[in-house]
A and B are shown apart, each in its own frame.
Chain A
Amino acid sequence: MNYSNNIAYCISEYLNCRYNIRFDERICYLLTCSLGLQMFFKDSALTPSKEVGINSINECYIESFNPLALETFSTNIRAVLRIDHNDDLNDIKWIAYDFENFNKMKTLVLVSSNIFNNKNIIGNHPVYGLVHIQDSVNSESDLGEFKTKSINIDFHKNSSKKINISHFFNQWSVSGTDIFNANRYVLIPPKFRDFNIAIPYLLKNALVNQFLIITEGGKNRQIGSQLFYNLKNDLLRNNSADNLLKHINLFIYSFNKSDILGVLDMDRCLAANCFEYLYQLNLIKSTEIIDTLKLSSEVWVNIRGFIKTNKNISISEMVDVYDKLYHSEILFEKHLKNILSAWN
């Protein structure tokens, strides 16, 4: 089971390498407010251009992800976040400069999932990475020379890849008007007077924010328990073979998507680890949320196995899947609310 999350790992390592600041990956994960299980369009990148609806599930997938994770993290810890993307060549020269001048310092970037060349995944999805130049470079080099170099990207503790640098010179049009390109980020954390005193306030804020993301906002929100409630109702309203297939394919695509970074349980076990860490820090008193998330992880692993290996899933079996997921999420939301109420 992968216990390392893409954005949380990248932020944690970035802050550690650049500023010698230890932000535990579990804390980073909570501060990005990425715990919500949400439905996204397949062919969408940084920002969805239209609202996701239950009637468009054949265009969607489910993931535990926050499209504004980096922005959320930076506002939660009062950091400065800058997107630096002057042009492709300058971005690469910055990465080379870091490599040459800052003891092989890694740079935080956003790239497209298409670098995994996974034919099961369509569209371009944002994937964070830490990069440094693999081959030795001269930051004064011209574009032609750079294009022959390769770059190493770390996605999380257990995942990295070497790719040709020309990837950074691609642009991808996505639905709506966004042009998705590899972005380079600069994230500058503040200096706290006493981090141990500040961290409970930072985390409480983040968990309040997380609770809001899951439970509030939007007429047709497709997130958390409400998502599975809506999906189940859609299947009960329209129990045709066609619609059943759409629901099954929703999960198959979702599992294929999460496979590229080795996530087997929608990061539920990681979430459990995070709250376990808060419990060890004495910031939460109850372990109910930890147990709920561990159970949710098992549910997801079982559902994954069931859907991937079964050719003939019935309507009632699919409804049962939704019941289990709805139950998991509603319990998680309830325990999160209780934690916030009890927080000192």
Chain B
Amino acid sequence: MELNTVNYKHSPGGSCASVAWSGIFKHHGYNLSEADIFGLGSGLYFGYCAVGASKLFDISLTSSSIIDDLMINTGVHGKLIQHHNNSDCLNLILKSIDNGNPVALLFNPYYCEGLIQITPIETQKYLPAHWIVITGYNSNHKTLISYDNRQFNPIEISFENFMKGRNTGFFDQNPRNFLYNVLFFDKVYPMETSIKLAIQKTCINFLDVEKILSFYVGSYGFEKCVRQIKQWNLMLSPDQLQQLLQKIYISSTGAGGIKGAYRNLFYKFLENSASVLNKPEIYEVANLFKESAYNWNIFVQKISEYQHEYNELNWGNNSELSNLLQQIFDLEISGFTSLRKITQ
């Protein structure tokens, strides 16, 4: 057969991981939105990297273990396997399609045509490895049919580019041949318990963890960032500062697809959680994150303005970015402190 596709319903969105796995879960009968997947994967995060000696700074706003957490929190049996042999991996994916199952795949963003088309050239280097969903293949054209989170229509990827996109790119862009072997979708836990587990883990990240790898995390990271952001212009040259601001813009907006630094997704997840858990007090907390998302939008707009023109007045003790970040921190720490108590 020339063309083989699964019956897959794609809903575009801002977060590539959450959109991809929302599609997979929906395919298996679990109506989880992008926001649900994000929340259940304990995706909300704040990390601040500051290695002054190497002039290495960064802000990270989503958890890197969102899919592992999603699997553990929902009870779906999913094991991350490295498949080094490209042909074997391709055959696995084709077999999955033949069995009627789509496959979520992490890929070098440079081989994701949909993403590259909408990302300015100068910021493409900041794109991390990208999630897409393979929903079919054309054996005559030797192409895979895929969906990208920001696009409505499917895109074809050649088998050749599939091979190239599996283990190339610098560290953050390199998917390193990983593929999740997901087997037991019928082992999904009751939503109530999954939500509590996921929220508690997000709270642990924010309230209890100080550092993960080179990132200062959660409240500790926020405090450090609020202090240091005032002096980024002193610690970095204008060029380095511009590059840092570009990088932060890409990561905080999901390459332009996300508003509110993922806090909008978390707010929607909390609204749904309030209903599932029958705890109306969570609506109040959700509103804190809605407000936080609004402030993050302003923060990101400022980042975008500052990256185009260096102005010393934007930095120092009266730094607007620092003040905004402080306001965001106040909202989020209040939110997480309440969430911990409510979902105990």
Contacts and interface: CB of A to CB of B under 8 A. Distances in A.
Given A190-B217, A198-B208, A74 B79 contact: no
Contacts of A212: 75, 189, 193, 197
Contacts of A192: 208-210
Interface string B260-280: 000000000000000000000
B184 A78 contact: no
A48 to B, nearest CB: 7
B189 A68 contact: no
B188 interface: yes
Given A201-B340, A205-B204, 11 more contacts: A48-B183, A51-B184, A68-B77, A71-B80, A188-B212, A188-B213, A190-B210, A198-B208, A201-B208, A205-B201, A212-B193
B79 A218 contact: no
B208 A68 contact: no
Nearest to B91: A177
Contacts of A71: 68, 71-72, 79-80
A47 B340 CA distance: 34
B248 interface: no
Contacts of B65: 74-75, 78, 80-81
Contacts of B211: 190-191
Nearest to A201: B204
Interface in B96-137: none
Contacts of A177: 92, 95, 181
Nearest to B208: A198
Given A49-B183, A72-B72, A193-B210, A216 B205 contact: no
Rank and list the top 6 A-B pairs by shortest CB-CB distance, nearest first: A217-B187, A198-B208, A191-B211, A218-B187, A217-B75, A190-B212
Interface in A196-218: 197-198, 201-202, 204-205, 208-209, 212-213, 216-218
B201 A75 contact: yes
Interface in A74-124: 74-76, 78, 80-81, 83, 85, 87
- Counting chain B CB atoms within 10 Å of each CB, which of A46, A67, A212 scores highest? A212
A151 to B, nearest CB: 21
A319 to B, nearest CB: 29
Contacts of A81: 65, 68
A317 interface: no
B204 A47 contact: no
Contacts of A135: none
Interface residues of A, number: 42
Interface residues of B, number: 46
Contact of A178 (B81, B187, B193, B197): B81
User: What secondary structure prevails in chain B residues at the interface with A?
Assistant: mixed
A197 B204 CA distance: 10
Which of B77, B92, B207 gathers most chain A CB within 10 Å? B77
A311 interface: no
Contacts of A83: 80, 82, 178
9 contacts: A49-B183, A51-B184, A71-B72, A74-B68, A81-B68, A83-B80, A198-B204, A201-B200, A201-B204
B15 to A, nearest CB: 19
B201 A78 contact: yes
B64 interface: yes
Nearest to B205: A78
A237 interface: no
Interface string A42-60: 0000111101000000000
Contacts of A344: 344
Contact of B79 (A68, A75, A194, A197): A68
A45 B208 CA distance: 35
Interface in B158-213: 178, 181, 183-184, 186-190, 193, 196-197, 200-201, 203-205, 207-213
B25 interface: no
Interface in B52-110: 64-65, 68-69, 71-73, 75, 77, 79-82, 84, 92, 95
Nearest to B167: A86
A205 B211 CA distance: 20
Contacts of B219: 193
Contacts of B283: none
Nearest to A194: B208
Given A71-B68, A74-B65, A198-B208, A87 B84 contact: yes
